[in-house]
Amino acid sequence: MSRNRSSSKLDTRTITMSAMLVALGVVFSFFRIPLSSVTEITFTDLPIAAGGYLFGPGVGFLIGALIDICGFLIKPMGTYFPGFTLSSGLIGVIYGLFLYRKWWDGKEGPYPLLRDGTKGLVIRILIAKLLKTILISLLLSCFWLSMYYGMDFRVVFFGSLPKEAINYPIESCLIYITVKLLRRAVPGN
């Protein structure tokens, strides 16, 4: 039986671009801009958000999870903990749900405010980043860290609040710039 290539979710282009985003995410995971002794800007979310924008939540999950696994294999820090891989994958799901271009860049459909050009994109990025910050960075990652290090969850949680409050607007702006560049550079399907 012949298979329609355009209907295949994981075609060669998707796999190739996803692999490039994973490689970029692994490289980005080694670079951090320290703002203070506990706060730093990281760039790992950018390839995950790009994957969510280009390919949706499923491939976004794979990109996020593979960035974590490959980053650990290349430069292990402690023992491997699958909870962090799950968190990275879920970040891809969140960005895919709110940024996937096939769902949001069209003119028709529900939620017209979220489809309204630049304003809609900014709102979707802020919502996705807020969900990622609360659900993944503050709740899930703090839970994993408290399990991993045997610390009280509240100590980890309240210690993470200032960092996440500072990172929220910075990383939201970086994701906005990334998506705007992708809209220009990568033609739609």
Q: Which residues contact 103 (CB under 8 A, 6 or more apart)?
A: 56, 109
Question: Domain residues for 137?
Answer: 8-100+109-185
Q: Where are the beta strands (DSSP E) in the chain?
A: 32-34, 40-42
Q: Which residues contact 49 (CB under 8 A, 6 or more apart)?
A: 95, 99, 128, 175, 178, 179
pTM of the model: 0.87
Residue 2 is assigned to a structural domain of this protein: no
Total domains present in the chain: 1
- CATH for 170: 1.10.1760.20
Residue 3 is assigned to a structural domain of this protein: no
Residue 156 is assigned to a structural domain of this protein: yes
pLDDT tens per residue, the chain (189 residues)? 444 444 446 789 899 999 999 999 999 988 888 866 656 778 999 999 999 999 999 999 999 999 999 999 998 888 899 999 999 999 999 999 999 987 776 665 566 666 667 888 899 999 999 999 999 999 999 999 899 889 899 998 998 898 899 899 999 999 999 999 998 888 764
- Tell me the one-letter amino acid at 122: V
Q: How far apart are CA 169 and CA 113, in angstroms?
A: 21
- Tell me the one-letter amino acid at 121: L
